[in-house]
Structure 1
Amino acid sequence: MIPRGSGHYPILDVYRAIASFAVLLYHIAGSLQIPSMASHAYVAVDFFFLLSGFVIDRAYGTRLEDRSFKLEFLLPRFVRLWPMIVLGTFVGAVVSIGSLLRGHTLDLSQMALVLAFGVLLLPFGRMPLTASIFPFDGPLWSLFYEVVANAAYCFVFRWLRIPVLSILVVLFAIGLVVVSLEKGDLELGARTGEISVGLLRVGFSFFAGVFMSRIGTASSVGGTTAITSVAGLIGVLFVPLPQHAIYDVACILVVFPLLIWRSAETAVPPGWRRACSFVGELSYPLYALHYPITRIFFYFQDTLALGKTALAFSIVLEVITCLGAAYVATKFVDQPVRNRLGSMVERIRSPRVAPLAGRT
């Protein structure tokens, strides 16, 4: 069993990679109007929130008993997320400039404002022709909610005992059910006017993850269980069924927590740990950078009116490009910048604080 206080769960790295890849395919399919490709991958965001709450509480929970640890908790979270936020925003800005130059009025002051808000991860930028709260890099919306959840967790930690967590999770779950039935699905939170729903989504999944961290997971996990859990996640995200409120609620409230409970403690053989770590490390840059790249590909796919064979080839090239960009960003931006920022943070942190935990 992986002990409390550990910040790394190899099987969860695999889950992150699957979820990030599903989101990539979902955005490609959405642009090209391919309804059967990763049609439910938008709920992968809720899975990310659940993983985040579980791993953060396992890694930091005991240390947050010390009230002076709050800043020392928040700074590493900033260091972990910010480099890709900045890179994704700048790449998205370049792509947006190209889009606006193709027949739309270019308002440089507005572009600069949206860029500043994006770099600061603030959902207040507005751009024409889009309702996204992060126009330059759409997927940043979920990172905004994750940061909000992290801050809330930090500042109300001393009240987050199991009875309080139980009430919070139940209330958020009720809210999700009501909203999903009203709206028809839970593909909500990324656009203007949907912030309250986004808070519901992160509120349930993040604090459900914290709750699961407190009550514990299955302590003995065999390889067969891990394989079936991975297959289950793939099936849930990629099943070619229409979007539906009941399906979304079932995934978020039942299936995802069950997957974490069943397999989080999986002991991965040493020979596979490096591979798990690699795909897990790649998942965040892939998530943060893919959206602007898919916009470039869609422009050519749409303009050239590609046939089925050429379109299929372009999709394969698009996926390879996104994976390659994620790898380059990991090696030459994310890791070096995080190391530099981490060193700066370490100089102002207490010597007793352990090294930074892995990303959640």
Structure 2
Amino acid sequence: MNQVLETAYKDSKSHYHILDGLRGVAAVMVVLFHILEIFSNGDHSKQLINHGYLAVDFFFVLSGFVIAYAYDDRWSKMSLKEFAKRRLIRLHPMIIIGMIVGAATFYFQGGNLYPMIDDVPVVTMLLIMFIGFTLIPVPPSMDIRGWVEMHPLNGPAWSLFFEYIANICYALFLRKFSNTVLIVIAFLAGGLLIHMAVTHGDIIGGWSLYPEQLRIGFTRLAYPFIAGMLLSRLIKPANIRQAFLICSILLLVVFCIPWVGGHDAKWMNGLYDSLIVILVFPLIVYLGAS
């Protein structure tokens, strides 16, 4: 095991500590977003920390940036197997811990929010936990909370599922693409993101294996991850003072902005979502890397 850890961490590049801190800020905000959901009575337009769900898209930008920064120049001496080993060691422990915590607290969550919990046998719950350890998503027929989630014991794990997909795509082909090709893909992905956002009124979704949810998930993943890669390759960070404070304030403002437009103009909120992901989050990552 020590040899595996040494392989995963040897010759590691220096970290962007500000970006690590911003990841923490965004994580706290998305947790608060979900906690405060219960006070909105199902009306998302009244949700406190209204745009906290955008933290997932910020994570995708961060992931693209960090992956390209950490691995783009290592492929001459690193195999696909070694890359997979490194990523598993960095990502998978939190998945296993999340599933265990979800299992330990599962039966304390019963109520109107999760209507199926009280009728779920312990054996079924444990089966879902062990499947969750692999991050293999469960089909809607195996739902045990009532939300048809990929990972009923750890709802947010759907974003890690898509992050794994992004890592696989990076290792197999994205890393080989020229910057020009990535720019074209980012342009197309950004267009799809805007279309989806203004059509739906937001970009919430991606946590289920239903086709529509998968479409939302992949649309949310594509532009941010590739934009992060391009940032790492093309932009040289400047020396910006108080970058963490500036970026933290920007994130707080972005997440706490109330619903944009009314129920008759949902496209306005969708446009806000997409422009934040396309323009503001890459800017924050650039500032945070400075």
Q: Tell me if both proteins adopt one fold, taking TM over 0.5 as the criterion.
A: yes
8 Å CA contact retained: 1:26, 1:39: yes
After superposition, what is the alpha-carbon deviation per residue over 1:8-31, rounded to whole angstroms, capped at 9, x for unaligned? 111112211110010111011112
Shift of residue 84, structure 1, vs aligned partner: 1.7
Distance 1:100 1:22, change over 3 A: closer
Counterparts of 2:206 and 2:47, CA distance in 1: 22
8 Å CA contact retained: 1:7, 1:55: no
Q: Does 1:148 align with 2:185?
A: no
Shift of residue 87, structure 1, vs aligned partner: 1.5
Q: Does 1:239 align with 2:264?
A: no
Shift of residue 105, structure 1, vs aligned partner: 2.5
Counterparts of 1:132 and 1:7, CA distance in 2: 36
Distance 1:156 1:28, change over 3 A: same
Distance 1:189 1:56, change over 3 A: same
> What is the SS of the residue equivalent to 1:133?
coil
Match of 1:61 among 69, 72, 76: 72
After superposition, what is the alpha-carbon deviation per residue over 1:269-316, rounded to whole angstroms, capped at 9, x for unaligned? xxxxxxxxxxxxxxxxxxxxxxxxxxxxxxxxxxxxxxxxxxxxxxxx
Gaps of 5+ in 2: 1-11, 261-265
> What is the SS of the residue equivalent to 1:64?
coil
Counterparts of 1:203 and 1:56, CA distance in 2: 14
Aligned residue in 1 for 2:241: 222
Aligned residue in 2 for 1:291: none
Q: Whose RCO is larger (CA < 8 A, sep 6+)? A: 1
Q: Does 1:96 align with 2:89?
A: no
Match of 2:231 among 212, 225, 242: 212
Identity, % of aligned positions: 31
Aligned residue in 2 for 1:131: 148
8 Å CA contact retained: 2:54, 2:255: yes
Report 1:255-270 matches (<5 A): 255-265=280-290
Counterparts of 1:90 and 1:111, CA distance in 2: 11
Q: Does 1:203 align with 2:222?
A: yes
Counterparts of 1:241 and 1:92, CA distance in 2: 30
Distance 1:103 1:168, change over 3 A: closer
Shift of residue 196, structure 1, vs aligned partner: 2.1
Counterparts of 1:207 and 1:50, CA distance in 2: 8
One-letter amino acid of the counterpart of residue 113, structure 1? L
Distance 1:94 1:171, change over 3 A: same
> What is the SS of the residue equivalent to 2:197?
helix
Q: Does 1:73 align with 2:89?
A: no
Counterparts of 1:226 and 1:121, CA distance in 2: 32
Report 1:171-210 matches (<5 A): 171-193=188-210, 194-210=213-229
> What is the SS of the residue equivalent to 2:89?
helix
Distance 1:18 1:207, change over 3 A: same
Aligned residue in 2 for 1:274: none
One-letter amino acid of the counterpart of residue 53, structure 1? G
One-letter amino acid of the counterpart of residue 95, structure 2? I
> What is the SS of the residue equivalent to 1:245?
helix
TM-score, length basis structure 1:
0.66
Distance 1:76 1:106, change over 3 A: same
Counterparts of 2:164 and 2:94, CA distance in 1: 14
User: What is the number of equivalent residue pairs in this alignment?
Assistant: 259
Indicate the RMSD between aligned Cα atoms, in angstroms: 2.3
Match of 1:10 among 6, 10, 17: 17
Counterparts of 1:22 and 1:40, CA distance in 2: 9
Q: Does 1:251 align with 2:270?
A: no
Distance 1:103 1:79, change over 3 A: closer
Counterparts of 1:54 and 1:103, CA distance in 2: 39
Shift of residue 100, structure 1, vs aligned partner: 6.3
Aligned residue in 1 for 2:96: 86
8 Å CA contact retained: 2:39, 2:47: no
Shift of residue 226, structure 1, vs aligned partner: 4.5
TM-score, length basis structure 2:
0.81
> What is the SS of the residue equivalent to 2:79?
helix
Counterparts of 2:117 and 2:26, CA distance in 1: 36
8 Å CA contact retained: 1:145, 1:202: yes
Distance 1:26 1:99, change over 3 A: closer
Report 1:333-344 matches (<5 A): none
8 Å CA contact retained: 1:217, 1:260: no
> What is the SS of the residue equivalent to 2:155?
coil
Aligned residue in 2 for 1:27: 34
8 Å CA contact retained: 1:118, 1:134: yes
Distance 1:33 1:161, change over 3 A: same
One-letter amino acid of the counterpart of residue 38, structure 1? I
One-letter amino acid of the counterpart of residue 79, structure 2? F
